[in-house]
Amino acid sequence: LERTLVLVKPDGVRRGLAGEVIGRIEAKGYRLVALDLRTPDAALLAEHYAEHEGKPFYAPLVEFMGSGPVVALVAEGQRVIEGFRSLAGATDPTAAAPGTIRGDLGRDWGLAVQQNLVHGSDSPVSAAREIGLWFPAL
């Protein structure tokens, strides 16, 4: 069965939306297989966001992601990688469709990085890599 890594980013935890995100994942019928609240360190974030190194939003992104606790979880189900990306909506919360997590709950705050509430792995290769980083025991 397919698995994906989901993060409720610091803005989501700070705003008290972790339960709402987890609820949407469970309501969709995906199963939680791991769940943890932690503030990620710089080394973990550098590995997690290695593909974005050198982009203008990279430094603000890593700073933001380390600014407070995140909820990291692994969800499992048929086509859950694509399914969670669909639940999350477009990267830009202003453009994200209503009905999605980012479309319903997110907005542009005029900051250097999109604070868009959640992360979800974008492919099977990314999911395997990210689950190994965040939950090495799985």
The binding site for ATP consists of: 9, 57, 85, 91, 102, 116
- Single out the segment in contact with ligand GTP by CB under 6 A; choices: 31-39, 66-74, 93-101, 109-117: 109-117
Question: What six digits make up the tokens of 135?
Answer: 């939950």
Question: Tell me, what DSSP letter sits at residue 97?
Answer: P
Rounded to whole angstroms, the Cα distance separating 83 from 81 reads: 5
Q: Is 130 helix (H, G, I), strand (E, B) or coil?
A: helix
- The answer to whether 118 and 9 have CB atoms below 8 angstroms apart is yes
Q: How far is the CB of 119 from ligand GTP (least distance, A)?
A: 4
The active-site residue, picked from 73, 119, 121, 130, is: 119
Asked whether position 76 contacts ligand GTP by CB under 6 A, the answer is no
| Residues 138, 67: Cα–Cα separation, whole Å | 26
Residue from 122, 129, 133, 135 binding ligand GTP (CB under 6 A): 122
Q: Residues in the site for ligand GTP, rule: CB under 6 A?
A: 57, 61, 91, 112-114, 116, 119-120, 122
Enumerate the active-site residues: 119
